[in-house]
Amino acid sequence: MTPSIELISSVDQLSQGDLDRWNELAHNPLQRWEWLGSWWRAYQHNYRLSIVKVRRQDETIAFVPWCLENRVGTGKTIQFLGSGKACTDHLSLLVSAGDCEAVCTAVAGWLARSADQHQTPNVQHLVWDAIELIGVDQEDAAMNSLARAMRTVGLDVEQTEGLGCYAINLPPTWDEYVRMRSKSGRREVRQSLKNIDSGTIVVQRVESRPQLDSVWDQFVTLHQRRRHASGTTGCFDHPPFEAFLRDAAAQLLDAGLLELIIATHDGAAVAAHFAIADKDHWYFYQSGMDPDAEALRPGLSMFCHAIRESIVTGRKTFDMMRGDEPYKLRWRAELLPAQEIRVCSPRRAAQLRHQVVRAGVTFKNLVKSGLGIGQPQS
């Protein structure tokens, strides 16, 4: 039987049973409602909720966690919940492998019908101009299946390389990980952990809501101080981001998925480590450090502690998330390639917008190439 599509435009349309099913279908904590729902509550004024719920008879077999943003360049643009400043990685359709092909075919067909200006009246649809899906793993079977299905129904789909994540494949024991490092790396690890093991730096893991309340401002301050000391702005300079992450931290804590660790020296907070973790994976999301305590290298100590804790608790992967910062390779992390999927609606207005945007990008690239176009003539 062909799956049916329901467009969810309000959280009120999602029952507790729907949210439970959502979390059952999620493949990692960053796809769960604790994370994406918190993002929606903080950012909802900038978007229109556009979750696609897919059913087969009385069974919900998939959710597509989308929202719609009105942009100057690309118009009504579909994107994942958790996008933008939150930089959520490993986003995908929430669907089991056995239902993937049928769901992708149904969603692609619904998108094509929604873009048809002569569609049948009274059919539930979403008017869209573009789709931009970022934070997608290159090997994600569901997303690649959706891209193929969209092409099959005649949609213009572009898949390009995205900014990937870096992750350490963790060995069974800490000693084995230390042996993976270079000679200087092994020395760095041992020196970094010495401050923790000797008690010079005291590590505290948040385990309750009152604890979370008591250390949250310290965590934010440490993150901001580190960013501002390097001459850059921090995520918390944007008020919706703090509302999102504070809410998400509480929800993740209740679900047993939060790893928020604060390090203190002589009673003062000197470093912080924020991660989302399930039984197999540790997703390092954010950190903070007091620049005045730099001589202690508390950030390095905390990072070593987090990797060791991941191994001791039996996790298989320590994911450093999106970004190609050089330090990640030093920790023996490997690239997890990512992709970006963009689709242009066949609607005439959307096609015109797409041509204008592409022409603008081409012009900029020609200028940057040094071919003289658009440059002052001598």
Phi-psi sector, 301: left (phi>0), alpha (psi -120 to 50), beta = alpha
- Position 229 scores a pLDDT of 80
What mean pLDDT do residues 137-153 have? 98
Lowest mean per-residue pLDDT among 121-135, 207-221, 235-249, 307-321? 121-135
Report whether pLDDT(343) > 80.
yes
Tokens of 86: 């939150």
Report whether pLDDT(351) > 50.
yes
What mean pLDDT do residues 32-55 have? 97
CA atoms within 13 A on the CB side of 31: 21
Question: pLDDT averaged over the chain?
Answer: 91
Report whether pLDDT(369) > 60.
no
Lowest mean per-residue pLDDT among 52-56, 164-168, 320-324, 349-353? 349-353
Sequence ranges of the chain with CATH classification 3.40.630.30: 4-162+337-368, 171-315
% of residues, the chain, pLDDT over 70: 93
* pLDDT tier at 201, thresholds 50, 70, 90: very high
Fold that domain 171-315 belongs to in CATH: Aminopeptidase (3.40.630)
User: In this structure, are residues 301 and 263 in contact, taking their beta carbons and an 8 Å threshold?
Assistant: yes
Report whether pLDDT(364) > 70.
no
**Do strands 202-205 and 156-169 pair parallel, antiparallel, or not at all (unpaired)?**
unpaired
Distance in Å from the first CA to the final CA of the chain: 69
**Do strands 94-95 and 75-80 pair parallel, antiparallel, or not at all (unpaired)?**
unpaired
What mean pLDDT do residues 248-255 have? 98
Largest CA-CA distance found in the chain, in angstroms, rounded:
72
What mean pLDDT do residues 27-50 have? 97
Q: Please provide the CATH number assigned to the domain covering 4-162+337-368.
A: 3.40.630.30
* pLDDT tier at 348, thresholds 50, 70, 90: confident
